[in-house]
Structure 1
């Protein structure tokens, strides 16, 4: 019924370059004629090394007049060629060499091939072959199974399966990584000297769990219970670890934990899962937690405020809910307040911070205020909000928003005629 948030390694294999050499050609010296008097039209100034009668700019103008199309085209091609040359050098340095600097060369070689057949010429069978060969060579060269590099190769295999829409295979790979990581974490615990590595492995396990939640919730998998279980685990682990660090204080070599924006994203993911099951009494607190961790003057904060308002308006908490019953009128009043805050914030944010989320968020929040007014029986106020939302949606080219607002206006007019 209500609108919610509207969602939001290419490394070619290097080819060998062969140098070609040619012999230097020598031309015979020619005797120059001796002139008794230099021509008045072709005087050469030995000090400035320029023709005094025609400078470079004049020569350029003459060439431009004689070839008004060819000259600009040649200049444009020269600029483009120079840009491509500079970009190619940077690309090769940063992505072809720099991205694999932590791998032994035999492993890096196989990874370049695998990524080529993943991102350039998609051939899953060859990509998998080279990923597996890279893992085998990584083990031979003594790379740690739980290092960022080794786990990264395995994750790339899962992403390849997802790219090929083999979601169950991707889940299988990620679940295997997650289970191995959990076993390692149980064995290592908080042993001295392992805190830094424990931090990295735990972070990766949390991220993999969130990704599993996304895959389980995919329309081609449809395992909502498992999706919720994985994301809930990720959120709980994140909060438990954050609380432990706050109690213990800063520990040397432990490394940083997730920042506030990353933690907020986990809250938001879990909130949407509860929202899809109409458990708005659970999604609202999670949206509020995500909102508290979001930058106060960002367009995504507008989206979170709007999501919170819709969850509040749709709440029907069970009778045994610990916080006790809340009146419907109080919930709608809170929903309107948050929607108004979303619109106010969206109007205050200016470029370059302003982006599409501000525009769509403002239109959606305005539409939702119309729905909240309609819930109260204030059809005149609802109509005004819907008209404003339709205007905003049309102005920014937001077709879905325009369609929803126009349908709402028809509904209001139908109510008025009855």
Structure 2
């Protein structure tokens, strides 16, 4: 009997095994005369030996997701992202080293330009914030602040006086519409800033008109408030009594419709009393009056009578307020009065006005008071120079002719030492004050020293020389004139050079004065 063999390969029925093995079931049956042998085994087929089902559908496979067409925004985002990646690579240490190896000069120049660009941008942004978003503008309501920013832009950045003035007026109208107190520091500050801006534009008449209106409004408010106190309409707490909240019609007429109110103003503490408001407005009026006095004495205006009247009122009002506080004490809400610098400045301004009027006997006591109140080392030397000039031109009066205007203004007694009795004593006093001014200005060191010290030093040398020439000391005068010229040229002070050269010319053309 013959032998036989049958081999078959069938797919697996179980889906889990089929997926796991990717093969089939191999069966081998062998027949021999003595019997049959069967062997079955699982085999894994290579990818090339695998077959697909013959009954698989010929339908096309579903299409995959189609890519949407690129748009400009998508292109811009991709380009921006690529640019950022390239920039990050370029500014990385590796990129900088690579660029420097390829082109050292261009890379170094680019780095320097980038550093300069960053520095300029920082300075510009800082200046922008300080100019348009500083603390002074931020205290205003947004509509007023925005109008003021536009006005400042057309004041400093792109000058347009007409448009800037319209914007300042619009800001004042907005203050009225929003109910801001017209006597608050913020509203008065706008008016004072406009006057200083007009002064810089050399529009002195308009600047004076604005300051006169500020002074008039403040003085009227103070007068009406003081009258209300006399009439008993203000209580001990510094506020209007309930029965007299509304001021009398005649008071309103006297104040031009702006009767005092104890309502708190914007930016001022809610506890501001009438006395505190009076103190604030009176100080504002005094400062404005001093400024008016200086403007009226300017060479572009030259109205000495009004200048003297404003300066005299400022000093007298300051001293009267000091006297009232000394005798009556502080009222509810009142704080410190004028600082020594403010009071001394007003006295110095009045002293210079008397000096321009050749009333040196009235200027000297005011200069002494200003010197006593001055806290700036360099400005002390300036006041000493004023004293030297005043003593050098001081007239000599007999005991019965000595004017007492200055003594009456300062409380009956001049604050300085005993006045010289002879012309020689006046010149010696002038020489001593010039020497003191020079030594004082020369000895200032550190942060306290400013250009005012240098100029005061040169002026002191010139005054010293002038007085020495009057005392009949030509050699000393010539030496001080030469020293003044050298110092003035070193610090670029042409006024000092011109004054000293004129003094030398007088010294050589005329005989020295003998006393």
Matching of residue 242 in structure 1 with residue 315 in structure 2: no
The structural deviation recorded for 1:318 is: 5.0
Are residues 64 and 365 of structure 1, via their aligned partners in 2, closer, same or farther at CA, if it must alter by over 3 Å?
A: farther
* Secondary structure in structure 1 of the residue aligned to 2:495: helix
Are residues 362 and 157 of structure 1, via their aligned partners in 2, closer, same or farther at CA, if it must alter by over 3 Å?
A: closer
1:73 pairs, out of 101, 106, 109, with 109
Q: Name the residue aligned to 2:475.
A: 380
> 1:301-316 alignment to 2 at 5 Å?
301-316=380-395
**Counterparts of 1:85 and 1:256, CA distance in 2:** 43
Q: CA RMSD in A?
A: 2.9
> 1:12-411 alignment to 2 at 5 Å?
24-25=77-78, 56=93, 63=99, 67-97=103-133, 98-189=135-226, 191=234, 192=238, 193-249=273-329, 253-295=333-375, 298-317=377-396, 319=398, 320-322=401-403, 326-411=421-506
Question: What's the TM-score once normalised by structure 2's chain length?
Answer: 0.65
The structural deviation recorded for 1:93 is: 4.5
**Counterparts of 2:158 and 2:350, CA distance in 1:** 36
The structural deviation recorded for 1:63 is: 4.9
**Counterparts of 1:354 and 1:199, CA distance in 2:** 34
The structural deviation recorded for 1:311 is: 0.5
Deviation string, structure 1 residues 386-409 (Cα, Å, up to 9, x no partner): 233233233333333223323433
Confirm or deny: 8 A CA contact 1:280 1:315 kept in the other structure: yes
Higher strand proportion: 2
**Counterparts of 2:325 and 2:490, CA distance in 1:** 48
**Counterparts of 1:162 and 1:374, CA distance in 2:** 40
**Counterparts of 1:80 and 1:253, CA distance in 2:** 53
Greater length-normalized contact order (CA 8 Å, ≥ 6 residues apart): 1
The structural deviation recorded for 1:334 is: 1.0
**Counterparts of 2:503 and 2:451, CA distance in 1:** 23
The structural deviation recorded for 1:252 is: 5.6
**Counterparts of 1:403 and 1:185, CA distance in 2:** 48
The structural deviation recorded for 1:416 is: 6.7
The structural deviation recorded for 1:183 is: 1.2
Confirm or deny: 8 A CA contact 1:124 1:160 kept in the other structure: no
The structural deviation recorded for 1:224 is: 0.8
The structural deviation recorded for 1:412 is: 3.0
**Counterparts of 1:100 and 1:299, CA distance in 2:** 33
* Secondary structure in structure 1 of the residue aligned to 2:446: coil
**Counterparts of 1:287 and 1:327, CA distance in 2:** 20
Could you list the runs of 5+ residues in structure 1 that have no partner in the other structure? 1-20, 28-54
Are residues 395 and 155 of structure 1, via their aligned partners in 2, closer, same or farther at CA, if it must alter by over 3 Å?
A: closer
131-140 or 399-408, which moves further after superposition?
Answer: 399-408
Confirm or deny: 8 A CA contact 1:212 1:227 kept in the other structure: yes
Question: What's the TM-score once normalised by structure 1's chain length?
Answer: 0.79
Deviation string, structure 1 residues 262-282 (Cα, Å, up to 9, x no partner): 221111211111111211111
303-312 or 118-127, which moves further after superposition?
Answer: 118-127
Confirm or deny: 8 A CA contact 1:299 1:355 kept in the other structure: yes
The structural deviation recorded for 1:321 is: 1.6
Could you list the runs of 5+ residues in structure 2 that have no partner in the other structure? 1-72, 81-91, 239-272, 405-418
Confirm or deny: 8 A CA contact 1:261 1:294 kept in the other structure: yes
**Counterparts of 1:253 and 1:78, CA distance in 2:** 56
The structural deviation recorded for 1:61 is: 6.8
* Secondary structure in structure 2 of the residue aligned to 1:383: helix
**Counterparts of 2:333 and 2:104, CA distance in 1:** 65
